[in-house]
Structures are given as structure tokens and as C-alpha cells.
């Protein structure tokens, strides 16, 4: 499973419910490897905006339009358009050395920096500052690794790989999707994957699912190539709604919030069962497009809700 993404991409943020659900369905199977490729949505060679305020207003409307489709939270106020995706991508890539769970939480904080806080993590300092209180994270190691030549080389390799898309995405017909995911032309006349794109690879071949897609399309791509990787779906009771193959067992709300630390409303629909919401102790943070729900331990350290440190005495 190769996920082409960027920590600061609004479509990737909106796709988190289905990606979290798919990762949960595949979790624990040693035959499955999930690899993220950071594509660098905001690159160093992008021309600076002649009017940053106008660009920010335009981009805020763009994110608002996307969130109308994805129902993902968006910040009440966006401070600026991200200057670069490199710092966030370096931090996200460096976190992988500390294990999958830590890497997932680090990437989530980077996404929330822009789409919840409205302050994109587009400098090394802001990307590292967004990590305050991430459980299990060695923050000192993360800072050292993110500044290392080895991690820079890995993100440069991601950047290059993203600009070698498979032929199927050069011309895409997405049906009713507002973001079908056709490859984007780059300034040098080449192409890169649209974000997000999931490439499913096995010895038997590959399938690609680009852009904004329903969960069932990811299921189809996996099951076409799985050849026994996944158990046969059970037959639902007549009175129960059919769940597609690859659907993980829904979690009780408290269990889901403990595991994921933060959940959007679309995510709780995908990942939790029908028992009452919110679970005890859940902290609600309102955004411009629905709430973000935080586990109380996360709320105590999250940059969006943690109390500010006391001012130094004058």
C-alpha cells in the first residue's frame, strides 16, 4: 500500500476517515506493508504570492469548498498559505523511525496545525512545536532526525517518486467525484500524483485509487489483488445493513477516542459503533466546519486546547 500524500493537503485531510478505516482493516497482517510518500505540495521553487493576504483569502475559500465535500473540519481563521511542505514532510518522515503509532500521531498533528489551528507547520520550528505532548514520542530524537541528511535524502526520494506516476493516473475519469485525481502537471512539464493517491501493489500487479474516493473503491482495489489475503466477508443478517469486505469491526466510542486521540465527525461515523456519543470526558473543539473531538489526555497537551504557560515575571 503506497499512500501519496502531503501533511498540508486539504484533500488528504478530508480522506483521513477512509484511510484510517482501511488501515484498521489491514492492521496486524504481516503480509501488508503501508508506506507513505511525501509528495511536497508546497515546493521551494513555487513563486511567492504578490499579495499574500489575497492569496490567503483565496486559499481559505478553496479549503472551504473542499470541506463542503469531505465534511472535514477547517480552521476558523487561516493565518497564511503554507510557504513550504518540506519542514512538515521531514518531521513526518523522521517520525517513522519511532514506530507506526508515533508516526501516525505526528502526521495527524501536522495536519491539524493547518486545518484546525489555522497555523500551517511550514517551518522546522513550527513543525516541531506542533508535537508537544505526543505520547510515546522522543522529541529530541525527532528534532535531530528531521535535520539529518538521511531523512532529507528520503524525502527527496519521495519527491522524485511522486513525479513518476503510473500511466493510469495521467487520464482519470472520476464519475461523480469532485476530485477525480488525475496527475497534476508540474512547472517543468512533467506530472506528479494528485493527492491523495493510493497505489496497491502485489506480485500479481497493481491498482491505483486516485483523488477523493469512497471507502468501497479502496476495498475493491485491495480485494482484486489480494488473492486470499483477506477473509471472505460474512453474510449480514437481513435486518442489518451490509458492510463491505475489509470493513473493520466498529469500536466503542471510548475505545476509538483512546486509540486515535482525536476524531472528526466523519471519522467517528467510519470507525465507531452506534453507542452514544460523545464518550465520557471527550473534549469538543469547534471549528468552522464541525467539531474535533479530543481524548481528555490529548486535550491536556494539544496545541489547540492546552493552557498557555504562565507568563514570566516582569
In the predicted structure, residue 6 carries a pLDDT above the cut 50: yes
According to the model, what pLDDT value does residue 176 have?
86
C-alpha Rg value of the chain to the nearest Å = 20
In the predicted structure, residue 212 carries a pLDDT above the cut 90: yes
According to the model, what pLDDT value does residue 251 have?
95
pLDDT band at 232 (very low <50, low <70, confident <90, very high): very low
Return the SS3 of 210.
strand
pLDDT digits (tens, 9 = 90+) for 85-135: 999 999 999 999 999 999 999 999 999 999 999 999 999 999 999 999 999
Q: Residue 125 has what DSSP assignment?
A: H
pLDDT band at 177 (very low <50, low <70, confident <90, very high): very high
Query: Average pLDDT of 69-73?
Result: 98
- Whole-model pTM: value is 0.92
Distance CA 35, CA 225 (A): 17
pLDDT band at 274 (very low <50, low <70, confident <90, very high): confident
| CB 220, CB 197: distance < 8 Å | no
| CB 98, CB 137: distance < 8 Å | yes
Amino acid at each position: 500500500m503506497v499512500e501519496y500524500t502531503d501533511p498540508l493537503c486539504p484533500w488528504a485531510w478530508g480522506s483521513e476517515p477512509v484511510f484510517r478505516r482501511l488501515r484498521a482493516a489491514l492492521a496486524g497482517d504481516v503480509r501488508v506493508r503501508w508506506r507513505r510518500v511525501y509528495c511536497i505540495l508546497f515546493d521551494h521553487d513555487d513563486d511567492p504570492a504578490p499579495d499574500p493576504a489575497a492569496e490567503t483569502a483565496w486559499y481559505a475559500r478553496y479549503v472551504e469548498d473542499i470541506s463542503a465535500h469531505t465534511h472535514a473540519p477547517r480552521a476558523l481563521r487561516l493565518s497564511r498559505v503554507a510557504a513550504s511542505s518540506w519542514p512538515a514532510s521531514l518531521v513526518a518522515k523522521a517520525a517513522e523511525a519511532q514506530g507506526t503509532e508515533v508516526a501516525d500521531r505526528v502526521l495527524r498533528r501536522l495536519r491539524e496545525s493547518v486545518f484546525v489551528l489555522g497555523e500551517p507547520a511550514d517551518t522546522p520550528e513550527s513543525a516541531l512545536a506542533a508535537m508537544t505532548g505526543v505520547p510515546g514520542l522522543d522529541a529530541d530524537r525527532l528534532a535531530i532526525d528531521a535535520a539529518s541528511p538521511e531523512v532529507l535524502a528520503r524525502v527527496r526520494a519521495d519527491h522524485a517518486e511522486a513525479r513518476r506516476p503510473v500511466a493510469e493516473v495521467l487520464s482519470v475519469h472520476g464519475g461523480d467525484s469532485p476530485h477525480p485525481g488525475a496527475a497534476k502537471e508540474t512547472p517543468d512539464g512533467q506530472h506528479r500524483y494528485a493527492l491523495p493517491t493510493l497505489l496497491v501493489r502485489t506480485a500479481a500487479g497493481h491498482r491505483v485509487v486516485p483523488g477523493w474516493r469512497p471507502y468501497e473503491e479502496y476495498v475493491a482495489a485491495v480485494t482484486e489483488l489480494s488473492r486470499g489475503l483477506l477473509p471472505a466477508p460474512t453474510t449480514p443478517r437481513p435486518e442489518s445493513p451490509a458492510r463491505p469486505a475489509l470493513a473493520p469491526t466498529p469500536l466503542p466510542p471510548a475505545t476509538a477516542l483512546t486509540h486515535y486521540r482525536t476524531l472528526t465527525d466523519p471519522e467517528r461515523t467510519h470507525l465507531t459503533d452506534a453507542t452514544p456519543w460523545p464518550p465520557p470526558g471527550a473534549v469538543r473543539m469547534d471549528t468552522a466546519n464541525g467539531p474535533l473531538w479530543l481524548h481528555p489526555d490529548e486535550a491536556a497537551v494539544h496545541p489547540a486546547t492546552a493552557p498557555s504557560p504562565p507568563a514570566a515575571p516582569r
